[in-house]
Amino acid sequence: MDLLTDRQGSVARAGDGRAIVAGRRSVAGSVSQRACTFCGSRVVLYPIADALHLVHGPVGCAGYTWDIRGALSSGPQLHRLSFSTDMREQEVIRGGEKSLAHALRVLIGRHRPACAFVYATCIVGVIGDDVGAVCRTIEAETGIPVIPVASEGFKGTKKDGYAAACGALLDLMGRPGAGGPTIPKSVNIVGDFNVAGESWLIRSYLERMGIEVVACLTGDGRVDDIQRAPRAALNLVQCAGSMTRLAKAMRDRWNIPFEQVSFIGLEDTAAALYKAAELVGDADTLARTRELVRSEMAAVKPELARLRTDLEGRRAALYVGGAFKAFSLVRALRQLGMRTVMAGTQTGGGDDYEHLKSLVDPDTIIADDTNPLELAAFLQSERVDLFIGGVKERPIAYKLGIGFCDHNHERKIGLAGFAGMVSFAREVHATVTSPVWSLMPRQRVAP
Amino acid sequence: MTMRDPTTNPCRLCAPLGASLVFRGISGGMPLLHGGQGCATYIRRYLISHFREPMDVASSSFGEQAAVFGGEPNLHAGLDNLIRQYQPALVGVATTCLAETIGEDVPAMLRRWRMQHPDGPELVPVSTPSYQGSHVQGFHAAVAALVAHFAEPMALERTVALFPGMISPADLRHLREIAAGCGIEPILVPDYADTLDGPTLSEWTPLPTGGTTIADLRRLGGCRAGIQLGRCADPDPAAVLTAHAGTPASTLGLPLGVRSTDAFIQALTGILGTVPAPWLAAERGRLLDAYVDGHKYAAGARVAVVADEDLAAALAGWLTEIGCRVVLVGSGGRSGRLLSAVAAAGGPGDAAVADQDHAALADLIAAAQPDLLIGPSKCAPAARALDLPLVRCGFPIHDRLGAQRLLTVGYRGTLRLFDEVVNTLLARKQAGSEVGHAYL
């Protein structure tokens, strides 16, 4: 593959000794699969279901992010509505503070949210709006937290948007009345977004072990729960790329230790639960954990073994948002007998890629912030049978007659935990073994 | 001045989306958005979910430095990288709200790039700030920019410029067939019939096959006439063609329904004095036969329509033609022409409401008490809440397969839609029946 000069440091093969250049702004003209700072903030805070999420700017940013995450709520559905100040030319000329204040008054009066987040889009700072000042005014008027999220799209990468979202969450946790004494045998689930109900499943495991879940950040999130989060005894950080910053800040401020875990795949799920039991539980917790892992594993293994017989030796490529999901997927695919031949992420860091290389087989392609042409080249040269990614990656696989599994946040199928592993295996099986591939013009050569 | 209320669940996307779609409809064309990276990515995701096809859109990927000191280095680097990867024949450069707000002079930047790269691809700038208009206006602005870039007075040929508006690939393909049936090989701008509804590949190609060729764009000035389909186009590319090459312009509604398809065919055949092919009359006959078979089921059915303005107007006119009662014609569009376009299509202008969001539309739909809703996927929550059948039509269709294949224009497209609308009404009746007969 003839890489752009500026992209040559961002693609390597495991074992070739080259470090990956990561964490940079996307190369102009490269057609990155990444979105922007706003996107990073929006996806992290989105699942908070009793908050008002107001996008301050022209209408597009709100339109593109209306109800696009399969993040479920057990109660209010306010997060699934998309609010915008719908800035027009007059506001661009005269400033948008008045219309922002008006929008907040109208929407808070109409929906009675527990708090409001105001996302700044690209032009807000450029036209000189003081979003923080408007938020303070409205907070004083309405009595609910009104929190500015500095998510101007151009200000950095998606990762900077995660940071802005973590700042907003910390702001909520630091309010008067938040926090309190530590709850024994308790955790926060940090960085699960309850896509297709996954947070509920993880919570049910922990509860069966006798561990209380104080808050899930932010899946099925509620403002009250988030404000109670400083009382947890441990933070279990799943989406490490977006939430480690928050966990570190909570450690520094409230002395809450954190552990990076994953609930994708059997091994990682079991390891996460044992870790939680070990760190906040007692002998009884550990016994219950053993029993839970044993019974859950026993329930899913026969089906996984059956599916594995058709998948053994197949070749997979994956391109996902964060590095920790990539780690888990490499292991989960191995459990199905499949080999990862290409792995990339939008937001991984240099250390993450070194770890990823250590997990995969030698020669596996590793890529940071890749693009459609690179992906298409990798899928072809590595003779891939399965591609795992999101909506923007799907047509690349399908055009080439390659199976695809959506592991992004728009999916409707829960893929976490023990039960999720079976759903994942079934989806992979359904796509990889479909008879339609035998009709396609491009026939893969057996490796 | 009363303050405009905030928008809840937008019924508009931003202008660069429409422009990106247009440049995908040019052979060898590639869109580049001048601004932050996210705009391109969000637009790609939105269009991919609708067309289920690759949709590459480049970005000049602004950082803070570009936002403060200007994005010319980013734009130039973006062009260089884009050209190296894709070897495009044309790059359409659309602005984002950020670039417009900081006052970027994109045409001047492109001229400076051109001086260094005299042999590079055609570069077509278009101004598409998202705080103006909508995705549909961005679409028309990009078509108008192409016309302004290429059209110049020249000797006349036996051809016609056809500006179809934002319709499906299947519709574009059928418009070409209808024109061929009228003895005309039109220059269709844009033409994403093949680029956004292509076959599976044996080998990846950076740019899809198909689209309006640059050779054809250069022939625009030689057209006998320019026809704009849709009366809400603002800017109107046919008028831009008149201004640049003196080409006579006509504006028609989308050819949906018997009368409007008749008018379209009449306009086409009138230009060169050609005679329509017999298959057109045969299709028209079958459509009329279907109208007769189904007229009683459609009679008086209360239908609410939500769509971009030109499709909304065409649907309202057609539903009136078959005897339905159009109780709402809603749109997020802001051209200011919806009411007159609905009336011109033969629909009830007083049922038209423009510049709406989906939250307001949901309330209007509920109040209108329809039997049936025709609209995009974004109407699905309202349809579900009201237990209304939704016939999916227009843009976007994110919750069903086949948006790129939905045929809605011509006698053939009308027939497909007629069957679907009548059958949906019948299904509702059947579902509510205690007896549940297996015959009509």
Q: Residue A250 falls within a domain, yes or no?
A: yes
The model's pLDDT over B88-140, given as tens digits with 9 standing for 90+, comes to 999 999 999 999 999 999 999 999 999 999 999 999 999 999 999 899 999 99
Backbone φ/ψ region at B9: left (φ over 0), alpha (ψ -120 to 50), beta: left
**Does A221 share its domain with A275?**
yes
Question: Using CB atoms and an 8 Å cut-off, which of residues 339-378 of chain A contact chain B?
Answer: 371-373, 376-377
Q: Residue A30 falls within a domain, yes or no?
A: no
Spatial separation of the C-alpha atoms in residues A296 and A90, rounded to whole Å: 59
What is the DSSP secondary structure assignment for residue A5, as one 8-state letter? G
Sorted by sequence, the CB contacts under 8 Å of residue A67 that are 6+ apart come out as A80, A81, A82, B381
Average pLDDT over residues B138-156: 98
Q: Say yes or no for a CB contact (<8 Å) between A442 and B98.
A: no
Which residues in chain B have their CB less than 8 angstroms from residue A401's CB? 200-201
Which residues in chain A have their CB less than 8 angstroms from residue B80's CB? 29
- Nearest neighbour of A33 by CB, restricted to B3, B41, B77: B41
Task: Measure CA of the first residue to CA of the last residue in chain B; give whole Å.
Answer: 57
Q: Residue A179 falls within a domain, yes or no?
A: no
Which residues in chain A have their CB less than 8 angstroms from residue B60's CB? 28-29
* % of chain A beyond a pLDDT of 70: 99
Which residues in chain B have their CB less than 8 angstroms from residue A32's CB? 37, 40-41, 59, 61
CA dihedral for A290, A292, A294, A300, sign (positive or negative): negative
**Does A231 share its domain with A123?**
no
**Does A318 share its domain with A385?**
yes
Residue of A160, A125, A166, A123 whose CA lies nearest to A147: A166
Which residues in chain A have their CB less than 8 angstroms from residue B208's CB? none
- Nearest neighbour of B10 by CB, restricted to A6, A34, A62: A62
Give the number of domains in chain A. Answer: 3
The model's pLDDT over B303-313, given as tens digits with 9 standing for 90+, comes to 999 999 999 99
Q: What is the mean pLDDT of chain A?
A: 95
Band of residue A447 on the pLDDT scale cut at 50, 70, 90: very low
Q: Give burial (CB, 10 Å; 0-12/13-18/19+) of B27.
A: buried
Which residues in chain B have their CB less than 8 angstroms from residue A6's CB? 81
The model's pLDDT over A97-120, given as tens digits with 9 standing for 90+, comes to 999 999 999 999 999 999 999 999
The model's pLDDT over A291-341, given as tens digits with 9 standing for 90+, comes to 999 999 999 999 999 999 999 999 999 999 999 999 999 999 999 999 999
**Does A148 share its domain with A47?**
yes
Specify the fold of B278-431: Rossmann fold (3.40.50)
Q: Say yes or no for a CB contact (<8 Å) between B98 and A156.
A: no
Q: Say yes or no for a CB contact (<8 Å) between A28 and B39.
A: no
Among 3.40.50.1980, 3.90.25.10, 3.40.50.300, 3.40.50.620, name the CATH number for the domain at B159-272. Answer: 3.40.50.1980
Q: Residue A29 falls within a domain, yes or no?
A: no
CATH homologous superfamily, domain B15-136 = Nitrogenase molybdenum iron protein domain (3.40.50.1980)
**Does A389 share its domain with A342?**
yes
Average pLDDT over residues B228-244: 97
Please calculate the CA angle A407-A10-B30 and round it to the nearest 5 degrees. Answer: 75
Spatial separation of the C-alpha atoms in residues B227 and B175, rounded to whole Å: 12
Q: Residue A395 falls within a domain, yes or no?
A: yes
CA distance A85 to chain B (A): 5
Q: Residue A139 falls within a domain, yes or no?
A: yes
Residue of A354, A421, A343, A416 whose CA lies nearest to A386: A343
**Does A148 share its domain with A55?**
yes
Question: Is the predicted pLDDT of residue B1 greater than 60, yes or no?
Answer: no
**Does A68 share its domain with A154?**
yes
Average pLDDT over residues A286-294: 98
**Does residue A1 belong to the interface with chain B, where contact is any CB pair within 8 Å?**
no
Question: Is the predicted pLDDT of residue B320 greater than 80, yes or no?
Answer: yes
What is this structure's pTM? 0.96
CA-nearest residue of chain A to B99?
A: A123
Q: What is the mean pLDDT of chain B?
A: 96
- Nearest neighbour of B42 by CB, restricted to A35, A126, A155: A35
Average pLDDT over residues B265-287: 97
Spatial separation of the C-alpha atoms in residues B432 and A393, rounded to whole Å: 42
Sorted by sequence, the CB contacts under 8 Å of residue B370 that are 6+ apart come out as B302, B303, B304, B327, B328, B388
Question: Is the predicted pLDDT of residue B402 greater than 50, yes or no?
Answer: yes
Q: Residue A56 falls within a domain, yes or no?
A: yes
Kindly state the tokens that stand for A25.
């702004």
**Does residue A394 belong to the interface with chain B, where contact is any CB pair within 8 Å?**
yes
Which of A303-317, B24-38, B426-440 shows the lowest per-residue confidence on average (mean pLDDT)?
A: B426-440
**Does residue B39 belong to the interface with chain A, where contact is any CB pair within 8 Å?**
yes
The domain limits of chain B are 15-136, 159-272, 278-431
Band of residue B394 on the pLDDT scale cut at 50, 70, 90: very high
Distances (CA, A) of A351 to A19, A110, A120, A354: 9, 47, 31, 5
CA distance A29 to chain B (A): 4
Residue of A81, A132, A86, A153 whose CA lies nearest to A110: A81
Strands of the sheet containing B302-306, edge to edge, are B352-353, B325-330, B302-306, B372-375, B390-392
Average pLDDT over residues A255-282: 96
Sorted by sequence, the CB contacts under 8 Å of residue A289 that are 6+ apart come out as A209, A273, A274, A276, A277, A281
> Which residues does residue A366 pair with via DSSP β-bridges, in sequence order?
A12, A343
The model's pLDDT over A193-241, given as tens digits with 9 standing for 90+, comes to 999 999 999 999 999 999 999 999 999 999 999 999 999 999 999 977 8
Question: Is the predicted pLDDT of residue A445 greater than 70, yes or no?
Answer: no
pLDDT at B440: 84
CA distance A128 to chain B (A): 11
Which residues in chain B have their CB less than 8 angstroms from residue A89's CB? 129, 131-132
Q: Residue A198 falls within a domain, yes or no?
A: yes
The model's pLDDT over A363-374, given as tens digits with 9 standing for 90+, comes to 999 999 999 999
pLDDT at A283: 96
**Does A191 share its domain with A272?**
yes
* ipTM greater than 0.90: yes
Lookup result for tokens 């077509």: B124
Q: Say yes or no for a CB contact (<8 Å) between B46 and A64.
A: yes
Contact yes or no for B271/B224 (Cβ under 8 A): yes
Which strand (E) or helix (H) includes residue B303? Answer: strand B302-306
Best of B204, B207, B331, B395 to mutate (most A CBs within 10 Å, chain A):
B204
**Does residue B2 belong to the interface with chain A, where contact is any CB pair within 8 Å?**
no
Of the three residues A122, A146, A172, the one that is the final residue of a domain is A172
SS3 of chain B: helix, strand, coil, percent, to 5? 50, 15, 40
- Check if B15-136 and B159-272 are the same fold: yes
Lookup result for tokens 């996107």: A39
Contact yes or no for A204/A194 (Cβ under 8 A): no
**Does A85 share its domain with A193?**
no
Q: Say yes or no for a CB contact (<8 Å) between A86 and B4.
A: yes
> What residues make up the domain containing A328?
5-24+312-411
**Does A159 share its domain with A199?**
no
**Does residue A6 belong to the interface with chain B, where contact is any CB pair within 8 Å?**
yes
**Does A209 share its domain with A286?**
yes
Inter-axis angle of helices A323-335 and A240-254, nearest 10: 120
CATH no. for residue A326? 3.40.50.1980
**Does residue A287 belong to the interface with chain B, where contact is any CB pair within 8 Å?**
no
Question: Is the predicted pLDDT of residue A70 greater than 90, yes or no?
Answer: no
**Does A15 share its domain with A43?**
no
Question: Using CB atoms and an 8 Å cut-off, which of residues 120-149 of chain B contact chain A?
Answer: 129-132
Q: Say yes or no for a CB contact (<8 Å) between A126 and B67.
A: yes
**Does residue B49 belong to the interface with chain A, where contact is any CB pair within 8 Å?**
yes
Please calculate the CA angle B156-B25-B118 and round it to the nearest 5 degrees. Answer: 75
Spatial separation of the C-alpha atoms in residues B28 and B202, rounded to whole Å: 19
Question: Is the predicted pLDDT of residue A446 greater than 60, yes or no?
Answer: no
Question: Is the predicted pLDDT of residue B256 greater than 70, yes or no?
Answer: yes
Give the alpha-carbon dihedral of A27, A34, B37, B120, to 10 degrees: 50
> Which residues does residue A11 pair with via DSSP β-bridges, in sequence order?
A367
Q: Say yes or no for a CB contact (<8 Å) between A35 and B41.
A: yes
